[in-house]
Each structure stands twice: as structure tokens, then as C-alpha cells.
Chain A
């Protein structure tokens, strides 16, 4: 039965409490003596008073109104929603990691520094890069850090006219937004008929104002850029650098490395490829790796080793500085490190093997019913175009809602933009054949339902805890907080 859930602010009662604190055991002074009255808050904030059991029941009920990887199949394209190993959560919560203060003396955090150091060695091998910073807190944050490093490199050489960054039309939205954040102009590159970046267009666009080319490989179409070596040569010949968006690294671990493809800067989304959970939106972690000539510009500090001692290296005079207050999302890196330790080289390669196998297999099944543009091998994901279904009355968004009714999280919808009615589907490595078969069957049933009664499909979802939500109303009449009537 559908119903809305009471807000915290509609619950509780004055006088209840959900906490217990020791009493203050130092001699207390009158408040006004410690803090002038005019600096004090005049009225308490209007917030609920709740007992602990109310708090727990509230959030437990909310959790039942949420869908995670642990609930079911989550083929959200370019998000690599793989299973998050439980043991990772346990090790990250160890007091020796979770209860470290960032300003502790180095000799008291040797284990944490060693972990950062070890992780860097592993990421270098995985990507073919020469140094990593763990400071960026997410993928987009890594992109910004990477572009700042590239900018510092050009500026350091006295090359100030490079004000453009090239981006393919298939790029994640974060790429162009990052380019603006870093003070650059975006030049968009079209795709050719095979789904690759149009090499001729690239050649025309590159010149001595090109700072970098940002690329995801495989692309958001799930296609490996077949001309990558030539693309790298074209950009490098004009003095530009290559930036690798690692959102889709899950496709190629052990098979190819961005460093070997000619990329100068790489960010990884370890909350995708390296199994850390996404937390309903974050925290993530976006380490950035670079080639030798860009090392001097990385954020400070780097982690290094002298003899048996690990230490923070702040001695990078040309460093861009800092992108986060401290050393990045350490707690997330701990989880990813544990994952890499458990997987090993063979395991990580198997991850990419199975991710690509699952993707090609599911595409083969769906191809019987749906249109999948760019008929060639896919890597970890593929994009269905629901254009024919849209003509019948139910498009990508409606198919997504129909999947909700069948217990699946839908693919990413309406992206990439070059595919009409896109359903970007990434089945990833932790799904079984039975799950993929069941999903394909559900998609087939939805196609039949559209043939039968497209209107009914377009009115879905029918069995979720709330019906289709009115997003237009939310924009036209924004209610962004609760307010007392």
C-alpha cells in the first residue's frame, strides 16, 4: 500500500531525548562570562526531540524505502554498481584507521601512511602511471585536480595560450563542467559512425591553444577507442596532454592500461572499479595518477618512504597546493586497498573479463527485442536506444519505471546524449548469469507490454512505495526544506 512517511519534524515530543552524556565534571562558570551575550544564540533551533527508539524506527523505515546493490541488480551505466564486500566495511571501521586525527605526528600514523604508500604502488601498476595522489574526494574532484596539474605544467613552461580542453560528445557531464571550473573553454568533438571519436575532427580541433584532451576509454557507449594511439600522437604533437577519465576502468584491468595508451593524467573512481560503496551519493574517492613530467605539480603532500619510515613529502615547490583539507577520503581508500589485496592481479583481470562478458552477453539477449546502436564488441557497458518504443508510446524513462516494478534498478537513462532514448546498461562483474537472464526476460516482457498497452507502461511504476513523482512540480514550486505550517 502506498503511503508517505512522516518527517522527523512531525514526530517526537518536547522532553524526549535520544542521547546520554556524562555530566560536566569541571567547575562551571556562568555562560555570559565565557561568551558575551550578544554572541549567543537567542532562540534554540526548531528541531525535533526524539527518543532513541523513534530515531531508529524512523531511519529503519526509510531504509526499507531505498534500493541498493544489496537489494538487487543495479545496471546503472558508467556507475559500476558492483557488490561491495562486507569485510571492507569492517576493516575501515578499525579504530586504528577511523579514529586517526589528520594532524597526528607522523610516527603515530605509520600504518596509515604505509597503506597509502602500498595503495599507490598498486594503482601505478594497474594504470601504468608513475605517481598518485589520493587527495581528490570523488571522480569529478579528480578531474579538477588533474586539469589543475595540467594547467600548472603548461604555465610552468611559460605556455600561457592553451585555454581549451577537447571533449568528445559522449563524455560524462562532469568533464565539461570541470573544464569550466578550471577556467578553460570546452571544445566538443563529434563521434564517427563506429562510435569512436571522429579522428578528422580531432585533427582539425587540436592546435597550440589545446591544453588537453579528456577521454573516457572505453567510452560511455561501452566502446574501446580503436584509434587511441593515433589520437594520443595527434594531441601530443601539438603540445597538448591527454587526460583519462577512469570511470570505466572496470572494463580493462589487466588487459590495457591508460599509461600505455599515452595518457598523461588519470583519475580512478575507486568507488566504482575498486568496489567501495557509493553511500547514496558519496563519499567516493578519485585518486589521480600522472606521468613523470607532471609529478612536480601534484597536490601536497605526497606519501614517501625513507628507510623503513613513511612520511608526508611537502617539498614540491611547484605543486598546485591542496584540493582537500587533508589527505583525501582515507576511509574509502582503506576499503579499496583491502579489495585490491584480496583480488590480486589474476582476480582483477577476471573482474574485467566477467564485466565485459556479462555486458556482451546481456547485449546479445536484449538485441533480440531492442535496438542497440553501434553493432560491435562492447566492453563493460552498452547503450540501448528505446526510440522505437518511444514511438509506440513508452520511452526510456517509462521502461526504467517498468523495471522498478519488476525489482530491478534501471540503467542510466537519457545518457549518453548522442543516443536517442538511451538506456546505458552496465551489468558489471558481480552478477550471475541467472540475474542477467531474468533481467533480459523482464525487458522482453516490458517490450510486449508496450505493444499491448503503452499507456499503462507510461503510467508506471505501479508497485513501488510511491507512484511516479512529479519532478516538474518540484522545480516549478521548489520546497527544499520542511517549514512549520
Chain B
């Protein structure tokens, strides 16, 4: 039998226990399952593997993949190849953290509760918001829940979302809205940026939330000067999707008037893992706290006056409020939030700023070098943070095939999400890319087509 090393009961234990219970056999314990639904066969699964055989099997599957450690990656689109310091896995690998459940019993969960409290604080410091929660599943669900929060707080049922927001997030948003019977309209693009004049026309007193992204899906920093005023004039809410790593360099969302800040936190020391687990971040101004979904850790004192932490404001949550809860979220991405917290603690404000500046410098170096080649043009004018869109002289799929021969994971094709952007590709350049790697990419692109 497989997995015996995880099942401590011996046959003798089982006999003794059955006798204590007062039944004859194991079968008696399952006699409450009506015979018409009893499985009349054994499950048809492949033979059990020993630990060694399982590791061999999983190794052989892993070996069939190319990955960011044996290729040079320029892929982004919301998930980036950033450097992850060793300290992170040594903290998240402590099993007192990773084998615990949601901290319902605070007196024996001070470790994770304090870590979440500190994580919330750092997310607030980065975004300029007053409160943050303990995490959402990913950027897409954080965007959707942020827009729904706006609906809850304004008691309106419509949102506007810019087409410059990640299409991956918009897909989730669209689904959440349609299921709930909420309206969603898209603000068109102008040169790869949100068309703010269109936003001005579209926003009215029916609109609850306006969702924008900084930097946007094309890696462009949008000029958000005065945008919040347009939105606030109609008492609507500005929901900003951000890359938290960019916030040591880019203006804090609070400074341009964001009300709710969401986004993907994968850039904070989280491996890409084929797109999950990721980290949904969520922060807001104080007045939205009662509409906020998910866990929130708060400070309190114990019976002797010592500082301690608990999950708090739980009357927002499903286990207390049931159908009146602000969301159904229960399990979140706590361990990933812990990883992000350790990342922020290790790098500090200066380290994160240095990473952000290197991304900016290297991405712009790459963009300049590539667009000097004939046939490669910037798809849009503007200021890029760590990613840029290029118009290229052929099909992205073919270019990626060619690059793959040199173990380069090229860019992301924009056309599946923006049919009008044929032969357009997104390239991301993080602090991990060396000048030599960028120059190699440029050489490979030179003379293609």
C-alpha cells in the first residue's frame, strides 16, 4: 500500500480502536453510506510510487520544461523574473509557518499574525494607503474585488476599466461582474495609454469604480495628473492596479488620488510558478475598510497588557456574516504575503529602489538598442518602467521560436489580447538581465526578416 509512512495506525491499533467504538469491522463504520452510492469497485489509479520513485517521476516531468533558470527570459505581462534572495525560502520554509492554518487561535499564532501586520504596514507605506489586507489570490482577483468594493461603497453597479489594464485582469473582472449582474465598460486606448478624454466622457453619476493600471500592461507610466479629480467629481472611486516594486520609484498612488490600490505582488520575491501561487495585494483609504474583503490583522493587548495581534473586523467576513459578507474569500495567499514581507524587509527602501532603477535603466537600454535595428519600432511613445511594446517585422510566434534555439524566452505576443496590435510584442527586462544577455538578444533580432 502507498503512503504507509504517513499513516501511523497499525492493524493492532485499528482492532483496539474498533473495539473501543463497539463495532466489529471497518466496514461497519461506513454502513451509513447508502448502498446505492457506495463505490462498487476499487479506484482505478496508477500503482502507488515510493518516495524515491515519485521524486524520479516528478523530476522527469520537470526536466521536460524549459525554465527561467536555464533560459534567458524577457517575458513579463504581469509576472517577472526578478532576483529572489535566499533568505525568503528559509523563512517560508519554517514549518511553524507553512504547516499552520489561518490564525483563528491568536495566542499560538502570534508569528504569522505579526508577520501579516508588518506586511500590511509595508504595503501601506508603499502605496500611501491607510489599510491593507492580508492578501488576495492574485492580481486579477484583486482587481475584480477592488472594483466590487467600489460598487459596495458607492451603492452603484457599474465600473469602467481602461484597456491599458492587463487583459488577464480584465478577463477575471469581466467574469466577476457579469456573474453578479454588474455593468462593465472599457475605456479605449490612445497610443498605448488610457484615453483620458474618453474617460471624462464616460464617467458619470452611475459609475462606481474606475480601474486603471500603473505602469500599464504595455509597461508605460501613465500621466495621472488630475485624473482622480475627474473621477471624484462624480463621487466615483479610483481603483489602481500597481506593481508594488515600482512604487519606490513611481509616485505613490495616494499622491495622485487613488482610493483603492490593488495589484500583483509577484515581483516581491515570489517565484513565477507557471502563474500561481501569486500574490494579490489590496490596500485602501480608511473609509473603505468595512467593504474590504479578506483577512486583516490588527493590534491589541493580552490579559497582562502585552502587545499582541489578532484577526480583526471579522464582521466583514464570510464565517461571521455569511451571505452579507464583503466577499467569500477564506483561504488567501498568506505564505506568499510572508515571502513578500521578507523580501521587503531584506531589501528595505533602498534595495527596492535600486532594483527598480536597474529595471528602468536596463529596460530603456534594451528598448533603445532594439529600436535602433531596422524593422523594430516602439509600438507607442511614452515612458517605460521595466517593460515595453515593440512593433516587429514578423510574427511574434516565429521570433520566439528563433530565440528559443538560443535558449532565450522572448517576449509576449500582444495580438491575442489586442487584435489591432498585429506583430506587436512585449519585452520585460528586470535587474537580473545583464548587458551581455541584452546584447545577445539584440544580436539575435538583428537582421531577422
Contact = CB atoms under 8 A, between A and B. Distances in A.
B100 A326 contact: no
Interface string A92-111: 01111111111111001111
A29 B354 contact: no
A289 interface: no
Interface string A143-165: 11001100100000000000000
A415 interface: yes
Interface string A1-41: 01111011100100011110110111111010011101111
Contacts of A418: none
A66 B111 contact: yes
Given A280-B100, A280-B112, A334-B58, A321 B175 contact: yes
Contacts, number: 702
A466 interface: yes
Contact of B251 (A41, A281, A354, A377): A41
Given A47-B125, A48-B348, A474-B300, A347 B1 contact: yes
B277 interface: yes
Contacts of B2: 342-344, 346-347
Nearest to B384: A34
B374 interface: no
Interface in B1-40: 1-4, 6-9, 13-14, 16-18, 20-23, 26, 29-34, 36-39
A325 B58 contact: no
A340 B65 CA distance: 21
A40 B181 CA distance: 39
A473 to B, nearest CB: 5
Nearest to A465: B110
B79 A111 contact: no
Interface string A40-68: 11101111111010011011101111111
B197 interface: no
Contact of B276 (A40, A181, A331): A331
A229 interface: yes
A280 B298 contact: no
B327 A17 contact: no
A380 B272 CA distance: 36
A475 to B, nearest CB: 6
A49 B301 CA distance: 27
Interface in B251-300: 251-252, 255, 264, 271-278, 289, 295-300
A291 interface: no
B65 A181 contact: no
A183 B3 contact: no
Interface in A157-180: 172-174, 176-180
Contacts of B68: 95, 99-101
Nearest to A12: B348
A479 B31 CA distance: 52
Contact of B345 (A40, A58, A94): A58
Given A26-B365, A344-B48, A433-B17, A96 B330 contact: no
A277 B94 CA distance: 12
A447 to B, nearest CB: 19
B101 A100 contact: no
A338 B58 contact: yes
A390 interface: no
Contacts of B319: 172-174, 415
A357 B28 CA distance: 10
A412 interface: yes
A316 to B, nearest CB: 13
B200 to A, nearest CB: 20
A79 interface: yes
Contacts of B37: 228-229, 256, 260-261
Contacts of A79: 101
B124 to A, nearest CB: 5
A279 B111 CA distance: 12
Given A18-B346, A48-B348, A94-B59, A280 B101 contact: yes
Interface in B395-440: 397, 400-401, 404, 409, 412, 431, 434-435, 438
Interface in A376-428: 376-377, 379, 400-401, 404, 409-410, 412-413, 415
A149 B314 CA distance: 29
B120 interface: yes
Interface string B153-196: 00000000000001011011011100111000000000000000
B32 A138 contact: no
B26 A357 contact: yes
A360 B31 CA distance: 13
A429 B103 contact: no
A474 to B, nearest CB: 4
B227 interface: no
B44 A345 contact: yes
A173 B329 CA distance: 10
B168 A114 contact: no
A89 interface: yes
A283 B277 contact: yes
A49 B347 CA distance: 8
Given A64-B111, A174-B330, A35 B360 contact: yes
A41 B252 contact: yes
11 contacts: A7-B121, A28-B361, A56-B90, A90-B55, A125-B43, A271-B331, A281-B331, A324-B141, A329-B276, A344-B49, A360-B21
